[in-house]
Structure 1
Amino acid sequence: MQNTAPHVIGTKQGQAVALRISGTKAAFYNCSFFGNQDTLYDHKGLHYFNNCFIQGSVDFIFGSGRSFYENCHLNSIAKKVASLTAQKRSNSSLASGFSFKDSTITGSGLIYLGRAWGDYSRVIFSYTFMDKIILPQGWNDWGDQRRDSRVYYGEYKCTGPGANLTGRVAWARVLTDEEARPFIGTYYVEGDTWLISP
């Protein structure tokens, strides 16, 4: 899926959404998503992505969905500082967040793993290879320090030069086995009740 809308001369390159998913219990296998800013609008609902390629520049996976990304390739085409995710969990009671497992992050630019679109934004990366494009800070509070104590940004057994935890913001979490467990299987999206093998 690709957003091929032509660039309007005289304007800045802005949103280029390739897919918006607002339904629940949706699964994507072996799919590719190409855009620029805001490639994949993971709006709301339970979602599962397996072996997918997702490419963009700024906040290219964003929304309020509760989604599990497994064996996915996340490719940045940013030309400057940008962010991979912008998750919008707005209060602590919402069962919302993005979890990435066994994935790969490559590309260009210098990017944050995520920035807090919502006050209680939640994103977890586990067993993921991170190339050198990841900024040492790792995460961004979108200019609102009140969010530092509310967001849930975690990393678990990731590898690669971008996974070096030296320089990470103080409010990022290095997860223990027990803390990571709820996020590293399809049960995170209640997959045992609806996922069907492809």
Structure 2
Amino acid sequence: MASKSYYFHLILFLIPLFNFSLKSYSQDVDRASDYDKWLSWNVQNHRRKALLQAESITQAPASFGRVLDDKLSKAEMNKVRISVSQNGTGHFRTIREAIDSIPPNNTRRVILEIKPGVYREKIVVPRTLPFVTLLGDSTNPPTITGNDTASVTGTDGKPLKTFQSATVSVDANYFVAINMVFENTAPHVIGSVGEQAVALRISGTKAAFYNCSFYGAQDTLYDHKGLHYFNNCFIQGSVDFIFGYGRSLYENCNLNSVAKKVASLTAQKRSSSSLESGFSFKDSVVTGSGMIYLGRAWGDYSRVVFSYTFMDKLVRPQGWSDWGKPNRDTRVFYGEYKCSGPGANFTGRVPWARILTDEEAQPFIGTHYVDGDTWLITP
């Protein structure tokens, strides 16, 4: 018969294992709870929007299929066009001059028809200039190019940092770009500091991009904040080349990596569980060089979903990265739905990635995700 001392030491040995098991179980419960809360909120929000849309269509005149918000409706009724051409045949020779001609607190949709060419300009659309549209030629889109990086010294003698490195910065709401190329030609050298080089930063809400291309290396597209829609766009970069706090839908987009080693396609920074932000990619293509994660958790509550997307073999089997902070595993939400290609094989995925059900995916796969029914207009 075993001695009392034996049982005493056996209990001392088992207690840490029991505590570890409880801790692991608790983490799993917390993780499941966070996922379920996020999914439940999106599903319920989607149903609510669908009901509201049905009511607005029922109440609207028969000639209208939907109801635009008041500000946009008025801006559309009074829209104007001005042209930009480097050869002097337009109203202005530079895009900056055209933007500077728009009066502050603009209330009309101003369409800048930009002729083909390479425009070496640093553009800022301030908050006081909503309803600006950049319209390029579909057969020969104009390019706005620059090469600033985060480490470049600004006019105040301080580094620009990532935020001000953008070739084009949009702080205004209701911005639209059609048939445009946004470019930052600064290269990325692995291991170097301060090489963030943004092609475009979008900080205004209710912004749309159609048939646009974004070329860069590290931090190409700063999807900073607000509701955004990208359709039929080409986005190229190496490290975190789509990043920010935005609540954005990317539809029919080509996401092209030029990474030389291992990098990440997205870095979504949802830093609070109350932020309605997150990136959704639908009917898109992931191709290019190097090996990439679909996303890494810049924020503790990072949210990214890929649906109906072709993923080439450059996607790492793990699929997602917690940025070396395992505590984020219980908070991030990374989902995939009916994706295809060798990179979509879910066998090697991190355990905290999700394959979504039909109901769970529904909130992410339409323009309702960005409240588009009230502000998306025909290009």
Same fold (TM over 0.5): yes
- How far off is 1:5 after superposition? 4.2
Q: Corresponding residue for 1:54?
A: 235
Equivalent-residue separation in structure 1 for 2:193 and 2:222 (angstroms): 20
SS at match of 1:178: helix
- How far off is 1:14 after superposition? 2.1
Q: Corresponding residue for 1:18?
A: 199
The alignment's C-alpha RMSD in Å is 1.4
Residues 1:135 and 1:5: Cα distance change in structure 2 (over 3 Å) = closer
- How far off is 1:4 after superposition? 2.5
Equivalent-residue separation in structure 2 for 1:59 and 1:6 (angstroms): 14
From 138, 141, 153, the equivalent of 2:334 is 153
Equivalent-residue separation in structure 1 for 2:242 and 2:218 (angstroms): 9
From 240, 259, 267, the equivalent of 1:78 is 259
Equivalent-residue separation in structure 1 for 2:194 and 2:203 (angstroms): 25
Question: Can you list the C-alpha shifts for 1:159-195, whole angstroms capped at 9, x where unaligned?
Answer: 0000000100000010000000000000000000100
Which residue type is aligned with residue 163 of structure 1? A
Q: Corresponding residue for 1:123?
A: 304
Equivalent-residue separation in structure 2 for 1:5 and 1:168 (angstroms): 33
Question: 1:106 aligned to 2:287?
Answer: yes
Percent identity reads: 82
Structure 2: unaligned runs, 5 residues or longer: 1-181
**Which protein shows a greater Rg?**
2
Structure 1: unaligned runs, 5 residues or longer: none
Residues 1:129 and 1:188: Cα distance change in structure 2 (over 3 Å) = same
Asked if the contact 1:52–1:72 (Cα under 8 Å) also holds between the matched residues in 2, the reply is: yes
- How far off is 1:13 after superposition? 8.0
SS at match of 1:74: strand
- TM-score of the superposition, structure 1-length normalised? 0.96
Asked if the contact 2:248–2:280 (Cα under 8 Å) also holds between the matched residues in 1, the reply is: yes
Equivalent-residue separation in structure 2 for 1:7 and 1:112 (angstroms): 18
Q: Corresponding residue for 1:64?
A: 245
SS at match of 2:183: coil
- TM-score of the superposition, structure 2-length normalised? 0.51
Please show how residues 179-194 of structure 1 align to structure 2 within 5 Å.
179-194=360-375
Question: 1:29 aligned to 2:210?
Answer: yes
Equivalent-residue separation in structure 1 for 2:269 and 2:315 (angstroms): 21
Equivalent-residue separation in structure 2 for 1:193 and 1:106 (angstroms): 33
- How far off is 1:91 after superposition? 1.1
Q: Corresponding residue for 1:87?
A: 268
**How many pairs were matched up?**
196
Equivalent-residue separation in structure 2 for 1:176 and 1:148 (angstroms): 20
SS at match of 1:148: helix
Question: Can you list the C-alpha shifts for 1:103-153, whole angstroms capped at 9, x where unaligned?
Answer: 000000000000000000000000000000000000000011111010010
Asked if the contact 1:152–1:172 (Cα under 8 Å) also holds between the matched residues in 2, the reply is: yes
Equivalent-residue separation in structure 1 for 2:297 and 2:340 (angstroms): 23
Residues 1:5 and 1:112: Cα distance change in structure 2 (over 3 Å) = closer
Asked if the contact 1:7–1:13 (Cα under 8 Å) also holds between the matched residues in 2, the reply is: no
SS at match of 1:133: coil
**Bigger proportion of residues as helix:** 2
**Bigger proportion of residues as strand:** 1
Asked if the contact 1:154–1:173 (Cα under 8 Å) also holds between the matched residues in 2, the reply is: yes
Question: 1:3 aligned to 2:187?
Answer: no
Question: Can you list the C-alpha shifts for 1:47-81, whole angstroms capped at 9, x where unaligned?
Answer: 00000000000000000000000000000000000
Q: Corresponding residue for 2:350?
A: 169
